[in-house]
Structure formats: structure tokens, C-alpha cells
Amino acid sequence: MKLIRYDGGRIGVTDGVRVADVTRHCGVGEDWPPVAMNRLIRNFETLRPVLEAALGEGDTVPFDRVFLETPVPWPNKLLAFPVNYHDHAAEMATTGLADVQGFFLKANSSLSGASEPIVLPDLPGRSVHHECELGVIIGKAGRQIPVETALDHVFGYACLIDVTVRGREERVMRKSYDTFTPVGPWIVTADEVGDPSALEMRLWVGDELRQHANTRDLIVSLPEMIAVASSAATLQPGDVIATGTPAGVGPIADGDVVRIEIERVGSMSVRVEQGALGRNPVFAKPYEFKRAVVAGGRA
């Protein structure tokens, strides 16, 4: 099943062609904070028959006419695992791998949807890079979750672009600008994806293929990430985990279109716009990104 959030917080079921509005089943009213999708995820097994029948009942609208927003705008936690592919570690010339550093948190306010642009902050002398990642949405709460049962806590998956200001300052700040975590175009439920351990991932900027990897190459596997994260913090329905990026990160600029595609999950294209906000003394000093050179050529 594919679930979307669209057109000002409505909840829909889609097959990628049509959208059926199921907002009324999710307890949405004057919803602040916007947690309707969290409730749907928590109550999914009860709601599932109604949701499964929705596309065959009543009116639908064309998928390409809706404004896609981030599926879970108010997760309890937005977690991310840094340097989780060896090829990315090589290109960044770092030994700070995910199995050593653990996870970090991004601001929830960095979340955006497939129909929204990535807005570049006004930071002269700094480049902003794309990072292609699989997004994992937690479905069942848990603490100290064993690796062996970790996937039982996954509700679904989404495409996720982890956008970052390149530099050596605190990672959380560099990755927490508004619109720096596009997620979408939908959440596809875990049963439709099956085994997530060998999913092909690609990212293009315009027509240029920048990143191509497979989740089999993760340093910390998806079950291990859930186990590690839940050892420190209780995971809640709707929590989002960004699983790390492979090699090929690079700059994006005003007018670019970034397209991400993940096998059995989906694809989305997000435009890039230059913004007027974001300047601050932390990023006042210019930074030049130099990709490391490894044996056999550039990483």
C-alpha cells in the first residue's frame, strides 16, 4: 500500500495513478501538531481494510494533480546514520563510520515533500550537496529492539534526500535547514517492499547520474540501525531513519532538478531554488570541498 500526505495535510491512498482521500478515517480536524499520519501508522492494522478498499470506492483524483507533502511532518524523531557506505567514507577521507559514531538527529523542520523545492540558504563560499538515502518509517514502538526482530518494527519505506551544507562545522546544523530532508513521494508499506537488504538506489541531478548503490553495501544494516537507535531512545510510530548515503555526493544549484529512485520503493523529482535566508556567522568562512582520491581513481 502507498500512502501520501497532500494538498494541505490530507491523507491519501494511491496506486501512483489515482489518489483516494482517506483523511476522514485518520482523525484529522484542526490538527496541530500535524500528527494524522502518526495516528494512521499506529492504528494501521485496524484501519487497513478501509484503506485497502478506498481506491475501489468513491471518487479519486489523478496522482499527478496533487501537491505532495512530506508523509510524516511531525515524527517524534528524525534520526540519521553518517558515513554508512565504505565508498562514501573513501571519498570523504574519513574514518568516522556509522558503526563507530552511531546516529545523529536532524531537525524535524527540515522535512519537505516531493512537490516542494529544496531551498538553498544564502551562504556565500559554501556548497550544498545532495545525498541519496533510503528512508525507514517506524511502525511499532520499541526500546532495546533485538536485531533479529528489528524489521517487525518497520511500517514502510520512502525515498529520502539528505541535503547538507558542506563543511566541518556541527553536522546537525549543516543538515537542518528547512527543506533539507525531502521525503516521498509516498510511504510504501513494508509488505510491498519485502527484504530491504538488497535495494538498488540511484540519484540524478538533471540528466547526470551522480549516485548508484545497493543497500547490501551498508556498513550498519537496517536491522542493526534499529537496534542501535532503540538502545538509546524508544522508537515511536512515525519516527524516520535516514540510512546513509553512498559515494557520489555533489553540489546542487538553483534551477537543478534532483531525481532519486529506489527499487520497489519509488522515485521522486525535486527542484532546487536559491533562497534569501540562512546566513549566519557559523558559516561565514568559505569552505572548499575536495573529493578524496583513492586507488583506482576518484571515489
Would you state the cell numbers that stand for residue 172, as one nine-digit string? 546537525
Please provide the DSSP assignment of 110-176 as one string.
GEE-TTSPEEE---TT--EEE-EEEEEEE-S-BSS--GGGGGGGEEEEEEEE--EE-SSS-HHHHT-
pLDDT in tens, 24-57: 888 766 678 999 999 999 999 999 999 999 998 8
- Asked whether the predicted pLDDT for residue 96 surpasses 90, the reply is no
3-state SS, residue 108: helix
* Euclidean distance between CA atoms 127 and 290, whole angstroms: 11
Return d(Cα 15, Cα 57) in angstroms, integer: 14
C-beta separation of 260 from 267 below 8 A: yes
Locate 168 and state its grid cell.
566541518
199 — phi, psi (to 5°)? -95, 130
In this predicted structure, which of 66-70, 169-173, 243-247 has the lowest mean pLDDT?
243-247
Closest CA to 54 of 74, 26, 73, 31: 26
Residue for grid cell 518494527: 153
Query: In whole numbers, what is the pLDDT of the chain averaged over residues?
Result: 93
What DSSP letter does each residue of 127-144 carry, written as one string? -EEE-EEEEEEE-S-BSS
pLDDT score of 293: 53
Say whether pTM exceeds 0.75: yes
Q: Count how many Cα atoms sit within 13 Å of the Cα of residue 264 in the half-sphere of its side chain.
A: 16
The set of cell numbers assigned to 232 is 538509546
**What pLDDT, in 10s, does the model give residues 170-191?**
999 999 999 999 999 999 999 9
Report residue 113's pLDDT band, with 50, 70 and 90 as the boundaries: very high
Domains of the chain: 2-66 (no CATH), 78-289 (3.90.850.10)
Count of beta carbons in the 10 Å neighbourhood of residue 111? 25
Give which of 221, 182, 172, 156 is closest to 73, Cα–Cα: 182
Return d(Cα 3, Cα 69) in angstroms, integer: 11
Neighbours of 144 (CB within 10 A): 9
Q: Residue 272: which H helix or E strand, with range?
A: strand 266-274
Q: Read off the pLDDT of residues 193-215 as tens digits, 9 standing for 90 and up.
A: 999 999 999 999 999 999 999 99
**To the nearest whole percent, how much of the chain has pLDDT over 90?**
84
Q: Cell numbers 532495546 correspond to what residue?
A: 144
Predicted local confidence at residue 85, as pLDDT: 86
pLDDT > 70: what percent of the chain?
95
Residues 6+ positions from 243 with CB-CB distance below 8 Å = 81, 84, 133, 134, 135, 136, 215, 218, 222, 225
Q: Which of 19-23, 24-28, 166-170, 188-192 has the lowest mean pLDDT?
A: 24-28
Max distance between CA atoms of the chain, in angstroms, equals 59
pLDDT of residue 29: 61
